[in-house]
Amino acid sequence: MKNLVIEGTKYTPEIKSDIQKKEIRFYGSSYPENANEFYQPVYEWVEKYFEKGESVLDVNFYIYYFNTSTSKCFMNLLEILEKNHKADHKINVNWYYSEDDEDSLDSGEKLFMEMDLNFKLIPVDKI
Amino acid sequence: MQKTIDQLLQSAFIEDIKGKTILAFGGVVSQDAIVGLGDVLRSELHFKHSLSIVNKVFAIYIEMTQNILHYSNERTDINGKSFGQGAVMVFECEKGYELVTVNLISEKQHRYLEKKCNLINSLSKDDLKEFYLKRRRKIAETDSKGAGLGFIDIVRRSGNPVIFDFENLGNSEYLFYLRAQMFVD
């Protein structure tokens, strides 16, 4: 299985997986023109990762800003992770938020509401 | 057919806004235009405000302009892609910022938006959060780009109800005026 490599732009995050380290990370801002289309390969990669027999994954979000259509996509992604968590896979999600931005924590918190997942909200100086 | 920016400038909808125009654009609201103008807006705000305020205004700007991109009833096709047309203006006022957009909508969109905006304006902060979560769950099951969530986000981030108006143009077409007020302490 290949690593997922999506280079970042001003309005889409860099998304990179590291199968060796059992990690996937999101870095940047997310307000694509078509969020559903943009995140499709990510859903597919994560589904495949567990189908191939992997059972541990750290998911790190360093997201500076995301729009509402992205929040819908993050929900879809977290639901895929939730499904795998319930299947006894070890998934840790870290959501890094900017201490200087009051909406940053709020937006992160809301994503994980109603989710059955191991997650941490971690304050950082700057994303 | 529309010159939306001219209409916006002349409309009664923005008559009472007293402030400096820091951004004005009318035409094809492509993703490139949104990103480029967004940069201009960010750097303008950055000189005066904390990151928190900059991000709030920016987030409201993104939701309002992407609404035009996806849902304006006046559309232009460029290289097989469809873009909405409309206009956006940002004012710097004594109390903070005002963001205004206008675009063409259909009769059906008019009914939907009127209902949606009135509902969102009537909700308390807690109810708004509840409603947002409920909507998002529901929308996640469909193909929608997220219509409706954007309005909730605008009200939530700005801390104020949205101001809106419709102008009937005949032929089942309307102009949809939307205004968000973001006050800075």
pLDDT band at B99 (very low <50, low <70, confident <90, very high): very high
pLDDT tens for each residue of B126-160: 999 888 888 877 776 665 666 578 999 999 999 99
B133 and A114 within 8 Å at the Cβ level: the answer is: yes
Give this prediction's pTM. Answer: 0.94
Q: For chain A, which domains are there?
A: 5-49+56-124 (3.30.750.24)
User: What is the least distance, in Å, from the CA of A21 to any CA of chain B?
Assistant: 30
Domains of chain B: 5-183 (3.30.565.10)
Determine the pLDDT at residue B156: 92
Helices assigned H by DSSP within B4-124:
4-10, 31-46, 51-71, 107-122
Side chain identity at residue A98, one-letter code: S
Residues 6+ apart with CB under 8 A from B66: A31, A33, A67, A69, B34, B150
Q: Do B146 and A68 touch (CB under 8 A)?
A: yes
Task: Look at residue B8 in the predicted model and tell me its pLDDT.
Answer: 82
Name every chain A residue with its beta carbon within 8 A of the beta carbon of B50.
100
How big is chain B, counted in residues? Answer: 185
Question: Nearest-CA residue of chain B relative to A72?
Answer: B140
Q: Which residues contact A120 (CB under 8 A, 6 or more apart)?
A: A92, A93, A94, A95
The pLDDT tens digits of the residues spanning B6-18 come to: 888 888 898 899 9
Residue in A with minimal Cα distance to B134: A114
Q: By the 8 A CB rule, do B148 and B61 touch?
A: no
Interchain proximity A65–B58, CB inside 8 Å: yes
Candidate from B69, B137, B153 with C-beta closest to A68: B153
Residue A103 has pLDDT above 90, yes or no: no
**Cα–Cα distance measured from residue B176 to residue A68, given in angstroms and rounded to the nearest whole number:** 20
